[in-house]
Structure 1
Amino acid sequence: MTGRYARDRQICVRTNSTATTNLVSWARTAGVQRFIYASSVGVIFQGVPLIDATERDTPYPHEHYNFYCESKAQAEEIVSKGTGPDMKTAIIRFSGIYGPGEKRVTQRVVDFMKTGFWIGLSMENGVEAQTQLSSVANCVQGLMKIDEKLPDPHIAGGRIYHIVDREVFGTFSFWAPINRALGFPDPYIVMPPWVLRCIAWICQTLADRYDFDPFVSVLEVDLLTITNTYSIARAERDLGYDPEPSPIAEIIAEHCSEVNTPEWQWQLKKVRWQQKFLFWVVVPLGLALIVWMFWPHSLCAVIGAVFLKLWVSYLGKWAEEMFEQVRAIGANLPGQVDGGDGAVVELD
């Protein structure tokens, strides 16, 4: 959970801490023999690199990113202490669940890529952060393995297991094949992490104030820009966990099947026009207006005024060219024919 509810203490405590306490108690009363709790690597991440972090040697931080992570850590301790001879417990930690059909991470990434603005990435000193995620298939395998192995007397109750993919990859480059499959170029803007963190902080602050889900959170940015990898040695040894390869090819097949259609080619052209408009009109115009507002009599303002006139002239020519291209593309869309003299006639 990374939306606005992750920063609502009451909801997080009620959902994770209190509810887990009740579930453990009810399960024991009902005679349940195995209790498996799904958690998150967010309970141990504290904004510093984690390299092959183990379940045993990585303690909980003194301060968590949000109440969701804090309450999940509390729930882990409740489940761990709730193990006993009548009911064995275990905790599984996932990391960024993704895969075909998954909506929270995968669908958000693909939807954003389809806007055409997956154009930047973030690196610290030119080095991309590394991480591991949890594919849906590996999450299912982890749950099935632990349910099968937990009755074994050699497996201690109350243990924590990291269930993540075996592959370690760049946090941005991992998703690059999807962006390419959609017909977009690789990101060409490299930003320092602090820029993304500032954007996330602003989004998070506004979301808290006006009660909506932030576009991105500080935790998400830090997970993208700070290396965090996790050991699966315990899961391999105790459970026989053998993670499957990343299903990126399946995700591409699910979300990129329309790339060869005329409609998608039109979408690509429209996105390129939007990018040109943003970088050559909106951004320069905004900078010129800012200079004009604060230094109205400066040389920069005079130069800005000259360039502003040039941009307005360019915008008129650009709009005219775009209109001609729209007409040309529209004439070739299914259900339309060129009626002559540039006229487009709809077919019933």
Structure 2
Amino acid sequence: MESPAENGSGSRRQQEARWCAVTGGRGFMAKHLVAALLRSGEWRVRVTDLAPAIAVDPVEENGVLGAALRDGRAVYASADVCDVAQLTKAFEGVGVVFHTAAADPNINNFQQHYKVNVEGTKNVIDACVTCKVERLIYTSSCGVVFDGVHGLFDVDESMPYPDKFPDAYAQTKAEAEKLVTKANGTYGLLTCSIRPGSIFGPGDIIIPYLHSYRGMMFIVGDGKNCDDFVYVENVAHAHICAEKTLSTKEGAKISGGQAYFITNMEHTNLWDFLYMLLEELGYKRKFRIRFPLVVIKPITYLIEWIYNKVLHKYGMRQPKMLTSARLKYISLNRTFNCKKAVEQLGYKPIVSLKDGIKITTNSTIAQER
């Protein structure tokens, strides 16, 4: 692994850049965060993830990441959050850690989620303390206050954790967030948690899902529920805002150990949002098929029962969309108030919902050509 020490090359700005590490650095949001950190000119980035070596696509190769890997402003370190020794090696010489690594939310396996999200976060904290990391910014989730029974509308951070969660992902992200909050002030480590809404952008899973149905939209429930979508660049921006706030004495007093909801601050009907994506993708004739919950719930439970009893024995993957937990996410209101992030972190969306949709769909169309 390359040492953070300067090698004498590059501009004065590059030489003064500080080192940070991004766990799960090859994930969807993390890629955008890494690029944003590099574009700022203030950071050298150690990208950490599970793969033994980094593999960049042509767009990345010709972009900011490819250039940074070539001139040493970015390096890759293979590290599993479940291995504290690997993390300690990866965090050597870094001043800030952005912890984005998490288990796949589409696989509802509690043991796996607990190992990665909870024990992995504890390992990250321990490695930060060992390496004398100054600040830890944790990528949490808006789902940490969602019980899957009651809708949420414009709730703020005073909303408590629920007694029960709809799935293993939300439950373990909440447990991990508690660890991060508790770690604030431990051996000089300052911490902060970012709770993004439903993230979308180039490379997300929403567009492939819509493409698979060729413009047909299956509405679950009454179709009146709202969600808070957030463009991926805004989530990356919020992480950087949090780090900058924690880096000041006054900001550390206010934001240390705090959690912040981050959205595009544009409450949107879930199904209208999907329709907008479809229109931008060129599906002008959309078929809307509505499934009442009383109809779809028994089908979902049957599919899950068949999978748990039979299909998983043959190595088949668990269905991603038709799960009881997923139904709760797509049939209830889930909107959040970002006033605290605006006032304390100076957060403001840098890409509007409308522009984010256009960027996302244009990127998809360009890749298909």
Structure 2: stretches of 5+ with no match in the other structure: 1-103
Structure 1 residue 223 displacement after superposition: 1.7
- The yes-or-no answer on 1:234 pairing with 2:337 is no
Matched, 1:48 2:146: no
Match for residue 176 of structure 1? 275
SS at structure 1 position matched to 2:347? coil
Q: Secondary structure at the match of 2:150?
A: coil
Is the partner of 2:180 in helix, strand or coil? helix
1:129 matched to 2:225? The reply is yes
Task: Please state how far the C-alpha of 1:14 moved relative to its aligned partner.
Answer: 0.9
- Tell me how far 1:257 sits from its aligned partner: 5.7
Q: Which residue of 2 aligns with 1:112?
A: 212
C-alpha contact (below 8 Å) 2:220/2:293 kept by paired residues: yes
178 and 95 in structure 1: CA distance in 2 versus 1, 3 angstrom threshold: same
1:100 alignment partner, SS class: coil
CA separation of 1:31/1:133 partners in 2, compared to 1, >3 Å: closer, same or farther? same
Deviations 1:208-263 (A, max 9, x none): 3322221412232222211110010111001111112021112222234699x9xx
Cα deviation, residue 184, structure 1: 4.5
> Partners in 2 of 1:258 and 1:9 — Cα distance?
36
Shift of 1:94: 1.5
* C-alpha contact 1:123 1:191 (8 A) present in aligned 2: yes
* Runs of 4+ more than 6 Å apart: none
Structure 1 position 88 matched with structure 2 position 190: yes
Larger deviation: 179-188 or 160-169?
179-188
**Contact 1:55/1:160 (CA < 8 Å) preserved in 2?**
yes
**DSSP 3-state at the match of 1:183:** coil
Q: Is the 8 A contact 1:110 1:255 kept in 2?
A: no
**1:214 is matched with which residue?**
319
* 1:121-174: CA deviation from partner (whole Å, max 9, x where unpaired): 2343xx510110221111111111111111223323110011111111111110
Aligned counterpart, 2:54? none
Distance 1:156 1:177 in 2: 36
CA gap of 1:134–1:207, structure 2 versus 1, over 3 A, is farther
Residue of structure 1 in register with 2:248 after alignment: 152
Question: Do the aligned partners of 1:93 and 1:162 also contact (CA within 8 Å) in 2?
Answer: yes
Q: What is the RMSD of the two structures over their aligned residues, measured on CA atoms? A: 2.2
Q: In structure 1, the residue corresponding to 2:249 is in which secondary structure? A: coil
Richer in helix (by share): 1
The question of whether the paired residues in 2 share the 8 Å contact of 1:179 and 1:185 is answered with no
Q: Contact 1:182/1:256 (CA < 8 Å) preserved in 2?
A: no
Q: How many residues align?
A: 251
Equivalent-residue separation in structure 2 for 1:202 and 1:97 (angstroms): 29
The answer on whether the counterparts of 1:162 and 1:232 sit within 8 Å (CA) in structure 2 is yes
Task: Check the 8 A contact 1:119/1:187 in 2, yes or no.
Answer: yes
The answer to whether structure 1 residue 253 and structure 2 residue 253 are counterparts is no
Contact 1:113 1:179 in 2 (8 A): no
Contact 1:203 1:215 (8 Å CA) reproduced: no
Q: Which has the higher strand share?
A: 2
Secondary structure of 2:206 counterpart: helix
| Contact 2:200 2:230 survives alignment (8 Å) | yes
Q: Contact conserved, 2:245 with 2:255, CA < 8 A, in 1?
A: no
Residue 63 of structure 1 is matched in structure 2 by: 164
Q: Is the 8 A contact 1:166 1:245 kept in 2?
A: no
Which of 306, 326, 329 is equivalent to 1:223? 329
| Structure with max Cα Rg | 1
Per the alignment, residue 3 of structure 1 pairs with: 106
Range that drifts further, 178-187 or 74-83: 178-187
| Structure 1: runs of 5+ lacking an equivalent | 262-348
Q: Work out the CA distance in 2 between the residues paired with 1:206 and 1:96.
A: 29
Shift of 1:78: 0.6
TM-score after normalising by structure 2 = 0.63
**Secondary structure of the corresponding residue to residue 172 of structure 1:** helix
Alpha-carbon distance in 2 for matches of 1:45, 1:108: 26
